Structure formats: C-alpha cells, structure tokens
C-alpha cells in the first residue's frame, strides 16, 4: 500500500489523564457502538493522539486540553491505534486510513527491534527506552497486523504477522509449557506479573483467531 514503510531496523496513567479504551473494539462492532465512535472517542484520538512532530502516537492525553500527558511511546498503544483505526476505516469514517498507515510506519522504524519484531517502548523522540520483546505487546501487534491486512489486503502485512507468530512460538516458548512473558525473560515476582503472562497468552490466542493464521 502506498505510503507504508516496509523496512527498518507500563506505567500507570497520570492523574488527570485519559487513555484509549478498547473495550468497544474487542467484540464485533455493532450499530449501537458506531455513533459513539463517530462522535466521541474516534475524533478525539484522530485529532489529538498523533505526534505530528515526532511521529507515532501518545500514550495518554490530558483531560483538560487533550495535550500529551506521557513522556514515552509504548508499542502497545501504537499497535492498538492501528487496530482501532483500521476498524474505523472499515466503518467508513474519514481519516483513519491515513492514521493507521502512519502508525505502522512508526513501528517500522523507531519501534523495530534490531534482532526481530518490536521493542517495548521509546521516548518521545524515538530513542530506545526498553528493548524487551513483551508477549502481551506482541499479541496486540498481531491484532493490529490482522486488522490492517483484512482492511488493505496487503500481503506484506500478512508476512509480517507470520514472522511475528514464528518469533513468538520459537523465541518466547517456555521450556515447560506456554510462553515466557518477555525476552529477556522476567522472573515472576508478583501476582501482577503472573496476570500479565496469563493475559498475554490469552490475548495471543485471541489475536491468532482474529488473524486466522494459527
């Protein structure tokens, strides 16, 4: 697809900030959700969510003036934006097509890991903060690739999704069963960490069903 880059090498929300909630996108969209998407959440993030100077998308917006309220850019948010905007594009809203392509281009450069797939986060200028490959984040990446591919039919996106799945199954496979939470591996130190690992596996399974690539 024209304009799409094809090469390239969690912090709690601050008080008084808003984050992108995807509850309404996790199930098939119904007509009851479309008016809210068109008049509320979607225009807000289409207008204020993109970092037009540094590229990519902000993690949080200040509830008072919709300005950026976070000092880093996580992979998870950028991939969520691709998923959401590809879905909104399918609904016929104006603007989302250009936005999800822009988000993908950011993933293809600053968020691309030098070894394989994607890093966890960069700063506002695109400099590396956390090079971990996180299962939960990568599952969202698969959701994004599947949604963008279903919207565009671009075989490059399907190839990217298959490469991501290969990395997860080979690079994050746990020696006992299932998958590791991240690479480098993290030692489970809390119930929150265990929840993240289980959540990542469940999200990955759902993403594979979405992609129809499992």
- 183: helix, strand or coil: strand
- 137: helix, strand or coil: helix
Give the pLDDT of residue 87: 82
Query: What contacts 24+ positions apart, CB below 8 Å, involve 144-147?
Result: 144/79, 144/80, 144/82, 144/83, 144/86, 144/103, 144/104, 145/82, 145/211, 146/207, 146/210, 146/211, 146/212, 146/213, 147/82, 147/83, 147/86, 147/87, 147/210
Give the pLDDT of residue 146: 85
In a domain, 56, yes or no: yes
In a domain, 7, yes or no: no
In a domain, 19, yes or no: no
- For tokens 């999704």, the residue is 161
Q: Is the pLDDT of residue 32 over 50?
A: no
The residue segments making up the domain with residue 193 are: 35-211
Rounded Cα–Cα distance for residues 15 and 62 (Å): 9
34-57: average pLDDT: 76
Q: Mean pLDDT lowest for which of 11-15, 34-38, 157-161? A: 11-15
In a domain, 152, yes or no: yes
pTM check: above 0.75:
no
| 123 bridge partner residues | 72
pLDDT tens, 149-202?
888 888 888 898 889 988 988 888 888 877 888 888 776 544 444 444 555 556
In a domain, 189, yes or no: yes
CA 208 to chain centroid, in Å, comes to: 15
Tokens of residue 48, six digits: 């204020």
Give the pLDDT of residue 169: 86
φ, ψ (nearest 5 deg) of residue 101:
-65, -40
pLDDT tens, 105-136?
888 889 999 888 999 999 999 999 999 999 88
The CATH number covering residue 73 comes to 1.50.10.10
Domains of the chain: total: 1
In a domain, 15, yes or no: no
């Amino acid at each position: 697809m024209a304009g799409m880059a094809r090469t390239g090498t969690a912090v709690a929300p601050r008080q008084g900030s808003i984050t992108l909630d995807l509850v309404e996108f996790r199930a098939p969209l119904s007509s009851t959700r479309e008016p809210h998407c068109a008049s509320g959440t979607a225009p807000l993030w289409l207008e204020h969510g993109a970092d037009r100077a540094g590229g990519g998308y902000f993690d949080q917006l200040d509830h008072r003036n919709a300005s950026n309220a976070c000092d880093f850019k996580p992979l998870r948010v950028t991939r969520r934006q691709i998923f959401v905007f590809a879905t909104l594009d399918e609904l016929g809203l104006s603007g989302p097509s250009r936005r999800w392509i822009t988000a993908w281009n950011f993933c293809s450069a600053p968020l691309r890991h030098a070894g394989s797939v994607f890093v966890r986060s960069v700063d506002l200028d695109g400099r590396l903060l956390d090079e971990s490959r996180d299962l939960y984040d990568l599952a969202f990446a698969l959701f994004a690739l599947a949604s963008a591919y279903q919207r565009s039919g671009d075989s490059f996106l399907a190839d990217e999704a298959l490469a991501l799945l290969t990395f997860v199954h080979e690079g994050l496979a746990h020696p006992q069963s299932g998958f590791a939470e991240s690479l480098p591996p993290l030692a489970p130190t809390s119930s929150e960490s265990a929840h993240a690992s289980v959540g990542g596996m469940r999200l990955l399974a759902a993403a594979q069903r979405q992609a129809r690539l499992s």
